[in-house]
Amino acid sequence: MAKENRSIINILDLSVEELDHLMDLADRIEKNKEEYWERCKHKKLATLFFEPSTRTRLSFEAAMLELGGSVLGFAGASSSSAAKGESVADTIETVSNYADIITMRHPKEGAPVVAANHTSVPFINAGDGGHFHPTQTLADLLTIRRCRGELSGLTIGLCGDLKFGRTVHSLIDAMLRYPNNRYILISPEELQLPEYEIEKLKEEGAEFIQTTDLEGSIPELDILYMTRVQKERFFNEEDYLRLKDIYILTKEKLENAKKDMAILHPLPRVNEISVAIDQDERAKYFYQTLCGKQMRMALILYLLGLDQ
């Protein structure tokens, strides 16, 4: 039974035991869908998206509906009272009277902390600017565990924008809690992993390599985590155009990969992974969205104390 009004802002808000419990729960849900069909009956999830995100919002909504609960909320700031100058704190105080659990995406880093201080129901951060997005990391962990059977002893390639990509940072933070993983950090020099994340790898004594070479790194990988090089992260168009196409995964680059390597991507993809790869058995990025839905189901159940 989770403690009341638990807020999940960062993946580190969950202990390793809790992560394992949530993954076990997701596996049970996968195998016994019907057992959970009415579990959240009469419960309501509020999805407060101050910034649009189809995938994350629909995933939360699908999760709650598959548990027999219902959903209310908004899909963009223009549909909300924020336009009238209302604070996040006041919105959360109010919505606490309308819903049994709240998830929020907000463009401002720190907004979830404010929300957590004002909610009287469990709260889940669904992404705050370039900061945290814990349920994406939950999706990543379950996908890796299901594809490889475990979360330790793996060689993990992280490729693309390692500087601004919040999903990469969170995934490293989470994987560092499992033993004996190696990290291959593949990016242009301009988009290398920030120093504070490098420090964490060192502190934990994790083996890691920084490289600009995607193709040469592939053969040793168990997991290849691709990310989008986002236009909005660049100061000028020229740098963006020069860099965006370098780390594109193609069929050719996959030739020397392990047969059971798993390719992940937080999506949306623009062109970082050639669509020709979608049919490859190693492509797990759409399966990852299924894992994401099931982890959100597990998290909702856990935070509502309905997991037993």
Query: Which residues here bind a second copy, judged by CB under 8 A?
Result: 37, 42, 44, 46, 52-55, 58-59, 61-62, 65-66, 70-76, 78-86, 89-91, 93-99, 267-270, 275, 278, 286, 289-290, 293
Q: Which is nearer to a second copy, 221 or 273 (CB)?
A: 273
- Hey, what are 95's tokens? 């919505």
Q: Taking a C-beta distance cutoff of 8 angstroms, is the pair 121, 304 a contact?
A: no
**Per-position DSSP letters for 28-77, written without gaps between them:** HHHH-HHHHTTTTTT-EEEEEESS--HHHHHHHHHHHHHTT-EEEEESSG
Examine the residue annotation and report whether 21 is marked as an active-site residue of this protein: no
The span from the CA of 151 to the CA of 130, in Å, is: 25
Task: Work out how close the CB of 32 gets to a second copy at its nearest, in angstroms, rounded to a whole number.
Answer: 13
Determine how many CB atoms are found less than 10 A away from the CB of residue 240: 16
Examine the residue annotation and report whether 212 is marked as an active-site residue of this protein: no
Task: Work out how close the CB of 31 gets to a second copy at its nearest, in angstroms, rounded to a whole number.
Answer: 16
The span from the CA of 70 to the CA of 145, in Å, is: 30
How many residues are recorded in the chain?
308
Examine the residue annotation and report whether 41 is marked as an active-site residue of this protein: no
User: Which one of the listed residues 105, 244, 293, 296 is annotated catalytic?
Assistant: 105
Binding residues for L-aspartate: 84, 166, 228
Q: Which is nearer to a second copy, 246 or 270 (CB)?
A: 270
Task: Work out how close the CB of 301 gets to a second copy at its nearest, in angstroms, rounded to a whole number.
Answer: 16
User: Which one of the listed residues 133, 244, 284, 293 is annotated catalytic?
Assistant: 133
Q: Which is nearer to a second copy, 182 or 269 (CB)?
A: 269
The span from the CA of 263 to the CA of 280, in Å, is: 10
User: Which one of the listed residues 3, 31, 84, 259 is annotated catalytic?
Assistant: 84
Examine the residue annotation and report whether 133 is marked as an active-site residue of this protein: yes
Q: Which is nearer to a second copy, 86 or 213 (CB)?
A: 86
**Selection from 87, 102, 113, 181 nearest residue 141 by Cα:** 181
Examine the residue annotation and report whether 54 is marked as an active-site residue of this protein: no
**Positions marked active-site:** 55-56, 84, 105, 133
